[in-house]
Amino acid sequence: MRVLAAMSGGVDSAVAAARAVDAGHDVVGVHMALSRNRDQFRTGSRGCCSIEDAGDARRAADVIGIPYYVWDLSERFEETVVADFLAEYAAGRTPNPCVRCNEHIKFEALLDKAVALGFDAVCTGHYARIVRSDGAPPELHRARDAAKDQSYVLAVMGPERLARAMFPLGDATSKDEVRAEAAERGLSVSAKPDSYDICFVADGDTRGFLRDRLGSQPGPIVDAAGEVLGTHDGTYGYTIGQRKGLAIGRPAADGKPRYVLSIEPVTSTVVVGSADDLDVGLIRAGSGVWFAGDHADGDWFDCAVQVRAHGEAVAVRARALRDGGIEVDVTAGSYRLQGVAAGQSLVLYDDSQVLAQATVDATTPAVRA
């Protein structure tokens, strides 16, 4: 197959491209320039898309022996991923930009351009497995290394785009294995630090980034009874379940920590309360993407749900809604799920297999006896 390998300049994408070559594919490397104002160097492990990253990707492609190009997708990235990030926070929601990047950039803009140029698939360094069988849609599964699994942020792509994807690192036993392989291949990125946090907020100051883009929008911090406890510069600086950085002058009456319970951007109000008030009973998510059946009958079925990239999947029951959404009953299991925010990605699993993905719209508190 003709394969386009997305090369970020990191060790994972470099080894993935090399493995695709070893598998006998005709591979071309491409680095996506996503930032409009790329720095010469990265800030430690933060950020991406620097000129340094593009150079690292080029050197890796040279060692592997494949053609290499840089594609400028910065305008598309700004119009989709960054714009969505700002709009969601302004609306009091909590977005996951990695999910949106996979949806709009890697497996939409990049994949569509690759197909138009005659490529059969896009190869990335994500840790996830694709299980294929004759006559059946491809299945998305967790990576062999659970600690590195990225199926959660990939689930948004859906089965049609999954059919044109390759994840050569899905069966890797550990990141150490990948780094060792990179060193053996002579790839200079073998010891390069992993990037983390939000790639377009290179200094890690998400609140500062939002304040610069959205401006100061002061308002009150109140308890469930409406008593004003403090003030803030913008609701976008908070997310459901947040404990740190509330800047509340006095402790709660019971002496226990307070957490963000809700965000009301229209009135610029942040509501705080106890940890018990974060318990979720029911989750409503919209625009479901199904990998394994559409469950059009609307019947409840047992599964597991994950609502954070590095969160634990907990046993629940779920059902498809007629409007295309998904409803999840958390009380059906024995685990507590707390602090789920609108805007988060919700992924359903059956053991290691991804069943569906949707974006959280609303939650209902758990009713405690």
Task: List Cβ neighbours of 124 (8 Å cut-off, separation of 6 or more).
Answer: 5, 6, 13, 16, 106, 165, 166, 167
Instruction: Quickly list DSSP for 284-343.
Output: EEEEEEESS---TT---EEEEEE-STTSPPEEEEEEE-TTS-EEEEGGGSSS--B---TT
Q: Determine the Cα–Cα distance for residues 358 and 78; give it in Å rounded to an integer.
A: 22
Strands (E), the chain: 2-6, 26-33, 68-72, 121-123, 128-131, 139-142, 165-166, 219-223, 228-232, 259-264, 269-273, 280-290, 301-306, 314-320, 326-329, 345-350, 353-365
**Nearest partner of 73 among 97, 49, 46, 95, judged by Cα:** 49
Residues catalogued as catalytic: 101, 199
Question: What's the token pair of residue 323?
Answer: 């409007």
Separation CA 262–CA 257 (nearest Å): 16
For the sheet containing 259-264, what is the strand order?
228-232, 219-223, 269-273, 259-264
Query: Please, is 104 exposed, middle or buried when counting C-beta atoms within 10 Å of its C-beta (0-12, 13-18, 19+)?
Result: buried
Cα dihedral 316→361→105→189 (10° resolution): -50
Backbone CA torsion sign across 279, 284, 287, 288: positive
Residue 208, φ and ψ in degrees, nearest 5? -65, -40
Residue type, 258: R
Helices (H) and strands (E) in the chain, counts: 10, 17
Residues in the chain: 369
> What is the C-alpha to C-alpha distance for residues 337 and 60, in angstroms, rounded to an integer?
43
